[in-house]
Structure 1
Amino acid sequence: MAKKSLIQREKKRQKLEQKYHLIRRSSKKELRKVTSLSDKLEIQRKLQLPPRNSATTRLHRRCFLTGRSRANYRDFGLSGHILREMVHACLLPGATRSSW
């Protein structure tokens, strides 16, 4: 189980990202359209004004059950360890278990 503080920090980042999403997207569109260097620098300064944690690249996928940040499968939203346990318990339909 991940620390509660890390999970809460991730939730805070998600809220910030949703709050500043439109501002970042509109300024990036402007940046692509503008050709002069001075205008580009001004728009880049605008992009640096929102908090760093509002950027989408700072978000991490976490396991739905445990909050683990590593070894996550996008299809299930679970970490590899929990996924393996659920497959062996026959809780995921369509998933086959392998043993060698």
Structure 2
Amino acid sequence: MAKTSMIMREHKRTKLVKKYAARRDELRKIVSSVKATYEEKLEAAEKLQKLPRDSSPVRQQSRCALTGRTRSVYKKFGLGRMKLREATMRGDVPGLRKASW
């Protein structure tokens, strides 16, 4: 089980990403715009850098829904490899079974 503080930090990042998503998209459009002047692009880039670091979606990590583990998490199921294996063995994941040949 992951530390509770790390899981809560990840929740905080998720909230910040949602809060600043629209503002971040607007500034990115200005920076990549062909019609914007150099000064406008520079100003937009500075504003983008002044946003909180944790509001960037790149800083988010995928976590296992059951344990909070960050490594080896399958996006499709939202589970870590160990919990996914347990769920598969119990038959909780439809269409997925242990390989045998």
* Structure 1 segments (4+ residues) deviating >3 Å: none
CA deviation map 1:5-54 (0-9, x unaligned): 00000000000111111000011111121453332211100101211000
TM-score (norm 1): 0.92
3-state SS of paired residue (2:24): helix
1 CA distance for matches of 2:38 and 2:20? 25
TM-score (norm 2): 0.91
2 CA distance for matches of 1:93 and 1:35? 51
Q: Which amino acid in structure 2 is aligned with residue 21 of structure 1? A: A
Q: Residue in 2 aligned with 1:4?
A: 4
Aligned residues: 100
Percent identity over paired residues: 43
- Are positions 1:22 and 2:6 aligned together? no
When structure 1 is superposed on structure 2, of 32-41 and 66-75 the one drifting more is: 32-41
When structure 1 is superposed on structure 2, of 30-39 and 84-93 the one drifting more is: 30-39
Q: Residue in 1 aligned with 2:45?
A: 44
Gaps of at least 5 residues in structure 1 are none
Q: Residue in 1 aligned with 2:94?
A: 93
Distance 1:28 1:67, change over 3 A: same
- Give 1:43-62 correspondences, 5 Å limit: 43-62=44-63
